Structure 1
Amino acid sequence: MGRRHLHVLPMLFLLIIYLVGASYGSRHTQVFNIQPKSQGLHQNFFGFLPKAMPLPPSGPSKQHNSIQLQNSRGKQP
């Protein structure tokens, strides 16, 4: 049993040295390079979402409908 402990102890020691060498002892205070934006421009919703694009109304307009009705009756515009 004594010889077995002599083989396990160096292996455990090497494993601990490997794990300590692979870890970071100190962390950086700023992980990402964040640039402060000017406060005058409010183009985003709380700075997260982009500004919405205006969507045109769906469906044909009244003018388009009237043209279709005239053509279906046989009248020329």
Structure 2
Amino acid sequence: MDRRYLNLVLVLILWLIYFVGHSYGARHSHQVFKVQPKGEAFPPSFFGFLPKAMPIPPSGPSRKHNGIGLQSSNGEP
């Protein structure tokens, strides 16, 4: 091949790389996904992964609903 032809191909490839690089960077200035920020001060989850903790009631029956416990706790036979 001719040396002048190789120089022309090299210059064209360098121009192509230069312009592709500049046009690729121009695309990143636009926001692709429009995300709306949440208005809550405290999100309902820990970093968006875990649900908020709920208090667990005691497993035993309460004194109000336990008839046997009320009789024995008051001292009545």
Q: Give the TM-score, by structure 2 length.
A: 0.43
Q: Give the TM-score, by structure 1 length.
A: 0.43
Higher strand share: 2
